[in-house]
Amino acid sequence: MDYQDAGVNIEAGRSFVDKIRRSVESTYNPQVLGGLGGFGGYFELPTGYENPVLVSGTDGVGTKLKIAHALNRHHTIGIDLVAMCVNDILTSGAKPLFFLDYLATGKLNPQQLSDVVTGIVEGCHLSGCALLGGETAEMPGFYGVGEYDVAGFCVGVVEKSKLLDGSQINTGDVAIGLRSSGVHSNGFSLVRKIVEVNGFNWGDRFDSLGDQTLGEMLLTPTQIYVKPILEALNSGIEIKGMAHITGGGLPENLPRCLGENKSIQINPETWPILPIFQWIANMGNVKTSAMFDTFNMGIGFVIIVPKSESNNIIKWFQSQEIDAYEIGEVIEGNQEIIGL
């Protein structure tokens, strides 16, 4: 017997790497040393930092993968994977430098996983980081035929004096919410349960969701906020804190950017709730509090800024084609969200 008799096709693995090589190398910049295929990826720290701090993050996409498997649409998953990682480290003010991925599957399908990597490459271009390397594991008997799982890891850099840690935020500062593109990559176990209980299919259409099928809308990739946020910082806009709104919604994630003795009073009527969230609430009979505890509810990223600059900053993001809303104000408290 050999490895292929056990279900692992070494030649297919080599073919897959060759298939993605050019796409991966399109993300390289002068800091990348060496090429694809080594035991490790090499990245030279950029110059211009007096006291650089490296910031790292890792994440996955969750059960959103089940919808991609069902519809055999895999490109957007790669964008989700990058977004979940780079948006996280962005909250500290860090510029993403490089990204690595881990793909595991029951039987390697080069075209399927190439589609995933194509999305990862697009996510890296959108966030300005290099796809430095990755790992593909063929694990027969562990994953079902046609199924795979993905995880990502990224590293960024920020000047130590500019690292955001909550201490910069003052009472009276305001929270500006940046619009999400949809459900992003959280809460899909609840979404899938609602679809199952109601007997819906991913190809179903609903008037409230417009021209897209339910599956198409749910596979809308997570918004990557890196370039507009970094451009805002570089243009002199004062941002005192940031939060990526993922699992746990605003109540869990927004307090993570606050310093001691600070809370935020939120007004949920200051931004429009996206149709997909209204659909989920109606079809699942989900309480409003549970919706806010599970989903981003239309706000994918929050920045904390001086109140005097709020209107100008909102207009600046709107000029970058990103809808922005003043959604709350920092008050004295115990790192809580009030009003939801």
Q: Mind listing the pLDDT tens digit of every residue in the chain (340 residues)? A: 655 655 666 666 666 777 677 878 888 888 888 777 677 888 889 899 999 999 999 999 999 999 999 999 999 999 999 999 999 999 999 999 999 999 999 988 888 988 999 999 999 999 999 999 888 898 888 988 889 999 999 999 999 999 999 889 999 999 999 999 999 999 999 999 999 999 999 999 999 998 899 999 999 999 999 999 999 999 999 999 999 999 999 999 999 999 889 999 999 999 999 999 999 999 999 999 999 999 999 999 999 999 999 999 999 999 989 999 999 999 998 888 888 8
Q: Where are the domains of the chain?
A: 3-162, 174-338
Beta carbons of 124 and 99 less than 8 angstroms apart: yes
Which CATH homologous superfamily contains domain 174-338?
PurM-like C-terminal domain (3.90.650.10)
Beta carbons of 130 and 98 less than 8 angstroms apart: yes
Q: Count CA atoms within 13 Å of residue 227 on its CB side.
A: 12
CA distance 26 to 262: 44
Of the candidates 151, 218, 128, the residue with the CA atom closest to the CA atom of residue 181: 218
Element (H, E) at 299: strand 299-305
CA distances 38 to 33, 41, 178, 181, Å, are 11, 7, 39, 36
Domain 3-162 has CATH 1.20.1050.10: no
| Angle separating helix axes 75-90 and 110-127, nearest 10 degrees | 30
Is 12 exposed, middle or buried (CB count within 10 Å of its CB: 0-12, 13-18, 19+)?
middle
Q: Which residue has the tokens 């709107």?
A: 318
pTM: 0.93
